[in-house]
Amino acid sequence: MSRLRNYTCSKCAGALIVDKDQEVLDCPFCGEKIGLAQFHEEDILGDAEASLRRMEFSAARDKYEYILKGDPSNFDALRGLIFAEGHVSSLDYISRIEKLRKCDLMKIYEKIEYAITNCREEDTAYFSQLLDTVSLYDEYRVLASEDRFLKGEQQNQLGKLMDIYEKQDELNSAFSNAGETVGSVIATVAEDTDEEHHDIYASFFLSAVILVSTVVSIYIFGVFGLYIPLVIAIFALLLRKFFVSQLESMKKPHREAASKISTKISSNAQKERELEKKYEEAYARLKELDPAKKKEGGTK
């Protein structure tokens, strides 16, 4: 395969034939000394872009730096260096804001500032817009980090609530069993009395269970000498009420905390959506400022 390539002198537009192994060429028409990089920029930039897409960032960086030695203001090399240092495989890769999470933001900021300082005046707007676009991720990152923390705390509060509900179930079960025990005692006492009072004892037991009337219950217990079961029943009811009240009071702060966290998560989600939309708009403006796109528009 031939190692010769046809190029044009940038000064006099004379046709040049360049050996790919040459480093410096003297134009035979005007005597201009031209570095190899100037003629092979397209080839080297193409190789560098391919390295980026393969995520061979170190190799891509070396190629872009080589171009910049001969052409410090080269737009493609400056942008490529930003991507290589920031671990960005292409501009399309960062079309969505969340993709920046995997990139080296500090390096990106550093190389954008370098590009703004060294680029041609007409390219300043592009790199400034790139900086504005990428900078939106700072707020997005804070929100995403806070969101992860809040969701963890929400799970913690809900877990504590579940523990309290389980304790409440255990309490209800314990008092249910105790009620059955007291009921069996009452039934035993009732069976030892005269048969003619059996229906009255049954009515008493039903009224005690559903707590229709405390006064009537006390009267019935008193008439038939069931003070001990009465005391036990009343004590059990009061004790159960106390424990239920305590458990309900324990639920309250966790419910309130979970509710506040849920509200904050919803608020952050809305802010994230707004930032995503803002990023999309900034990214679209960035694409419009791309010199390659401007050239396409100029040829139409």
pLDDT tens digits, residue range 20-65? 666 677 788 887 776 665 667 778 898 999 999 999 999 999 999 9
Catalogue all structural domains in the chain, each as residue range(s) with its CATH number: 4-119 (1.25.40), 142-287 (1.20.58)
What is the chain's length? Answer: 300
Instruction: Tell whether the model's pLDDT for residue 291 goes beyond 70.
Output: yes
Among 45-54, 187-196, 233-242, 286-295, name the most confident range.
Answer: 45-54
Contacts of residue 107, defined as CB under 8 A and 6 or more positions apart, other chains included, come to 85, 86, 87
Contacts of residue 283, defined as CB under 8 A and 6 or more positions apart, other chains included, come to 94, 95, 133
Question: Who has greater pLDDT, 29 or 140?
Answer: 140
φ and ψ at residue 29, rounded to 5 degrees: -95, -40
User: Would you state the pLDDT for residue 203?
Assistant: 44
User: Would you state the pLDDT for residue 200?
Assistant: 44
pLDDT tens digits, residue range 150-204? 888 888 888 888 887 787 777 677 666 655 555 554 454 444 444 444 444 444 4
Question: Who has greater pLDDT, 209 or 103?
Answer: 103
Instruction: Tell whether the model's pLDDT for residue 238 goes beyond 50.
Output: yes
Cα–Cα distance list, 174 to 85, 161, 180, 181 (Å): 66, 20, 10, 11
pLDDT tens digits, residue range 8-20? 776 787 777 766 6
* High-pLDDT (> 90) share of the chain, %: 37
Spatial separation of the C-alpha atoms in residues 272 and 11, rounded to whole Å: 52
Question: Who has greater pLDDT, 23 or 220?
Answer: 23
Q: Are 175 and 247 in contact (CB under 8 A)?
A: no
